[in-house]
Amino acid sequence: MTPGAAMTPGARRAVARWLAVVAALVFVTVVVGGVTRLTGSGLSMTDWRPVTGWIPPMSEAEWRAEFARYRASPEYRTVNRGMALDGFKTIFWFEFSHRALGRIVALAFFVPFMAFLLARGLDPPTARRLWLLLGLGALQGAVGWFMVKSGLVDRPSVSHYRLAMHLALAFLIYGGLVWTAAGLARDPDYGPAERAVAGQRRRAAALLALVSLTVVSGAFVAGLDAGLHYNTFPLMDGRLVPADYLAGEPVWLNPFQNVAAVQFNHRLLAVATVLATVVCRFGLARSSPTRGTRMAAGALAATAVLQAGLGVAALLAYVPVWLGALHQAGALALFTLAVLLLASLRQRAGPAG
């Protein structure tokens, strides 16, 4: 399955459309994962069956066996003691749906990828990138179980470090899909001259890094349930910087384990993201050489403002499921636009003009 020497325009468009569909499936999977967490359903499946996990319990006896495994978990003993079988089925279906979507994503990627390889429809750089994404996808399944397993031993909640790892890897895979699709969807000889956009490209890369950091900090907020504390804005317990910001020991772990510090840092990064996207939008409106870049910058700034508003609303309302899910979807939309902004500033494949 050696890749072809070059991709035809038709092949580039076909691969770009396929990757866009896979990216959309990943988007849905991440949002459903957020709903699973918000509904307290993530620990309802106490084992991992990579092959046979497609099949849910099909009989009353199988449901009772699944429920018996759950009743042996820390979550049942300390949080959901007395839950009936019908209640267990509700949380089970959320987690099952999330895992099933992950398997659908895997198939939607693997089968067409093999077909394109057999047809020699991929050039070597694209094939290498897709092999990497396939490997990251396989790793993501293992990381997901690694995360869930942390909540099945002693405490009825997953490690927030592992949750952040799981979410960060999902965004990395999603970003790789969007970046590759965006590159294939356009003329390979098209691109702004290096001299004209070198500075803009660096700023767009820094902006993508800031958005990514804000997303990961949000995973720490979610993993520690920090959104259920300090439910006022912009002050926290009447102070701009909470009094408990450095209350934990050792001090250097406060940004990762202290609820006050974790939430404050996420607020700070969110405000910085809004300001940076707005500045970028007005800067590119005057200097960008392409209309696509100006549109991406404008959409990014507007989405950042909307996402910040969703975050504040979710905080003030003590994170209802629907608002929390919208906020997670907003993070994905913001990240998508940051990737597309940087992609619009790629240099042309040929000599710069």
pLDDT in tens, 14-32: 999 999 999 999 999 999 9
Residue 136, Cβ density class (10 Å: 0-12 exposed, 13-18 middle, ≥19 buried): middle
Q: Look at residue 59 and tell me whether its pLDDT is greater than 90.
A: yes
Q: Which of 32, 172, 25 is nearest to 109 (CA)?
A: 25
User: Each residue of 143-159: pLDDT tens digit?
Assistant: 999 999 999 988 889 99
Is the overall model pTM greater than 0.85, yes or no?
Answer: yes
Q: Please give the structure tokens belonging to residue 313.
A: 């609303």
Collapsed DSSP state (helix, strand, coil) of residue 236: strand
Residue 62 has pLDDT above 90, yes or no: yes
Q: What is the mean pLDDT of residues 104-115?
A: 97
User: Is residue 52 scored above 50 in pLDDT?
Assistant: yes
pLDDT at 289: 62
Helical ranges in the chain per DSSP H: 9-38, 60-71, 74-78, 85-118, 124-149, 160-185, 194-223, 254-257, 259-287, 291-316, 321-344
Mean pLDDT of 110-135: 95
Output the average pLDDT for the chain. 91
pLDDT at 191: 57
Among 27-41, 98-112, 197-211, the minimum mean pLDDT is found in 197-211
pLDDT interval class at 65 (50, 70, 90): very high
Q: Hey, what amino acid is at 216?
A: V
The pLDDT of residue 141: 93
Stretch 192-207: mean pLDDT, rounded? Answer: 79
Is the bond into 250 cis (omega within 30 degrees of 0)? yes
User: What is the structure's pLDDT at 346?
Assistant: 77
Instruction: Indicate the Cα dihedral angle 201, 204, 209, 214, nearest 10°.
Output: 180
What is the percent of the chain where pLDDT is above 70? 93
Whole-angstrom distance, CA of residue 188 vs CA of residue 158: 44
Confidence of residue 351 (pLDDT cuts 50, 70, 90): very low
